[in-house]
Amino acid sequence: EVQLLESGGGLVQPGGSLRLSCAASGFTFTNYAMTWVRQAPGKGLEWVSVISVSGDFTYYTDSVKGRFTISRDNSKNTLYLQMNSLRAEDTAVYYCAKGVGSYGSGNYHDYWGQGILVTVSS
């Protein structure tokens, strides 16, 4: 059974940092790209970032470029999202999602974690 378990969320002040983790199990982690998607309270889904199987290729939505860094540790089957210079508008539930392939077009998100809340507030 595929399982994705996010951790590391919480309350942080504006300008602060947080690192999210997503522990994966039930599939061969090294075969699939991984993605972060977020959802602000009461709002829709926003695609955030993707990383290829080897970590060589990454992409970010414009609003987080230069502030967020996606990475993965294939030896630990874990995906990360390092979030720096956090803003109030980054407040959201963050989901990690498994891709159906290595990277690129058509890499659908077939499994999702339960989500973790990040609140940016003073």
Partner 1 sequence: DIQLTQSPSFLSASVGDRVTITCRASQGISSYLAWYQQKPGKAPKFLIYAASTLQSGVPSRFSGSGSGTEFTLTISSLQPEDFATYYCQQLNSYPFTFGQGTRLEIK
Which of 59, 71, 74, 102 lies at the binding interface for partner 1 (CB under 8 A)? 59
115 binds partner 1 (CB under 8 A): yes
9 binds partner 1 (CB under 8 A): no
Size (the chain), residues: 122
Closest CB to partner 1 among residues 18, 97: 97
Which of 5, 27, 71, 109 lies at the binding interface for partner 1 (CB under 8 A)? 109
Closest CB to partner 1 among residues 75, 105: 105
Using the contact rule CB under 8 A, the part of the chain among 24-32, 59-67, 68-76, 80-88 near partner 1 is: 59-67
For 14, phi then psi, to 5°, come to -55, 135
CA separation for the pair 32, 53 (Å, rounded): 5
Residues of span 77-96 touching partner 1 by CB under 8 A: 95
Q: What is the 3-class SS of 49-100, one letter each residue?
A: EEECCCCCCEEECHHHCCCEEEEEECCCCEEEEEECCCCHHHCEEEEEEEEC
Tell me the HSE value of 87 on the side-chain side, using a 13 A CA sphere: 7
Binding site for partner 1 (CB under 8 A): 35, 37, 44-47, 50, 59-62, 95, 100, 105-115
